[in-house]
Amino acid sequence: MKQVVVDSCTSLYCVLGDPISHSLSPVMHNSAFTHMGYNGVYLAFNVKDKNLASAISGIKALGIKGVSVTIPHKVEVMKFLDNIDEKALKIGAVNTIVNKDGKLFGYNTDCLGATNALLEKTAIKDKDVVILGSGGAARAIGFGIVSEGGRLTILGVLKDEGENLAKDLGVDYYHLSEFKNIDCQILINATPVGMTPNTKAMPVQKEDLKKDMVVMDIVYNPIKTSLLKESEGIGCITADGASMFVYQGAAQFEMWTGKKAPVDIMRKTVLYNLRNND
C-alpha cells in the first residue's frame, strides 16, 4: 500500500447530502485512494436544500473533481448541472458528478449497484417486485428492475411524487398502507427508514412480511436494519445495502480516476466499519 501525501496537487472529492454524518463514502473512497496510491481526498458535506445551488457553484469554484450525491438531492441537483448522461436522464436522478474542465456532468451508478446486489440473491426477470419509496434511489432501482424484466409496483406516502415515478416507469403506484394487500416476491426498501440513528424504525409492519420474500434494504448503516432482522427471523432471503453501496461506489471511483476500482478493499472497509458500528 502506497502512502498518499496531501499536497497542493491533491484532488478533492466529496459527498453532498442531508443528513450526512452516517455516510461511509469517505472511509470507502479514501481507503481506495490510499490502496491505489492515488493523490486524492474525499470529504462529506452536509448541504441543506436551500444551499444546494451554492454548493454546486462551490464545486466549480474550488475545482472539486468528483461528487457523490445522496438523500435528498439526487433529483433536484439535475437542474444545476451542465450535462446529464442519457441513462441518468431516463432514470430521472443523479448520484454522481464528474467535473470535466469546469463543466459538471451527471451520472447514475445506483441502478447498476442495486441490480448487481439483488442479482447476487435472486433472479429479477418475471418476478413481482415492490419498491417502497419514490425518491432518487427508488427511481434508479425501479429503472433497473424494469430493465431486468421485473413486474414492478411502487408504494409510498408522497402521492404526487409516487404517481409521477410510476408513470415514468409505466407501473402502478399505491399508498404504502396497501402493502398488506399486494403480493410480491421481492421487496425493496428505497427509503431512509431504519437508518442510523433511527434504527428501530421499519417501513412496513412485521406481520405483513412473508417468508418466501426476498427482502432488500438499501440502508447500509446499520448493515442489519430492523427490516432485515425481522425478515431473516421469519425465513426470508435478505440483501443488505452494503453490496449496492460498494458497487455504486466502485463505478464512481472508476469514472473519477480512470483506474480499476479495488472493489475488495472497498467492501472490506465498509463491512469493517459497519460491524464496528453495530
Domain contains 191: yes
pLDDT digits (tens, 9 = 90+) for 29-76: 999 999 999 999 999 999 999 999 999 999 999 999 999 999 899 999
User: DSSP E strands: which ranges in 165-206?
Assistant: 172-175, 186-189
Same domain, 95 and 151: no
The boundaries of the domain holding residue 172 are: 111-239
State whether the Cα torsion 78-79-80-82 is positive or negative.
Answer: positive
Same domain, 232 and 265: no
pLDDT digits (tens, 9 = 90+) for 72-103: 999 999 999 999 999 999 898 899 999 999 99
Same domain, 137 and 219: yes
The residue type of 268 is K
Which of 48, 60, 65, 74 is flagged as catalytic?
74
Domain count, the chain: 2
Same domain, 117 and 204: yes
Q: Is 229 a catalytic residue?
A: no
Please indicate, yes or no, whether the overall pTM of this predicted structure exceeds 0.85. no
- In sequence order, which residues have a C-beta less than 8 Å from that of residue 94 and are 6 or more positions away? 69, 74, 75, 77, 78, 81, 84, 88, 106, 107, 108, 136
Angle at CA of residue 208, ends 205 and 209, nearest 5°:
100
Contact by Cβ (8 Å): 86, 96: no
Strands 40-46 and 11-17: parallel
DSSP per-residue string spanning 87-143: HHHHHT---EEEEETTEEEEE--HHHHHHHHHHTT---TT-EEEEE--SHHHHHHHH
Same domain, 69 and 116: no
Taking CA atoms, 98 is separated from 25, 35, 105, in Å, by 16, 22, 5
Same domain, 130 and 163: yes
For residue 277, pLDDT over 80 is answered with no
pLDDT digits (tens, 9 = 90+) for 248-270: 999 999 999 999 999 999 999 99
- In sequence order, which residues have a C-beta less than 8 Å from that of residue 259 and are 6 or more positions away? 36, 38, 253
Per-residue pLDDT, 215: 98
Q: Other C-beta atoms within 10 Å of 28: how many? A: 26
Give the percent of the chain with pLDDT over 90.
88
Same domain, 44 and 158: no
- Across the range 181-196, mean pLDDT stands at 95
Same domain, 227 and 115: yes
Q: Other C-beta atoms within 10 Å of 180: how many? A: 10
User: Could you give the CA distance from residue 156 to residue 17 in angstroms, rounded to a whole number?
Assistant: 21
User: DSSP E strands: which ranges in 157-218?
Assistant: 172-175, 186-189, 214-217
Same domain, 270 and 194: no
Burial class (CB in 10 A: 0-12, 13-18, 19+), 220: buried
Q: Other C-beta atoms within 10 Å of 165: how many? A: 26
Per-residue pLDDT, 221: 85
Bond into 197 cis (ω within 30): yes
Residue with cell 432482522: 229
CATH code where residue 31 lies: 3.40.50.10860
For residue 176, name the pLDDT band (cuts at 50, 70, 90). Answer: very high
Same domain, 185 and 263: no
CATH code where residue 183 lies: 3.40.50.720
Contact by Cβ (8 Å): 109, 248: yes
Same domain, 174 and 257: no
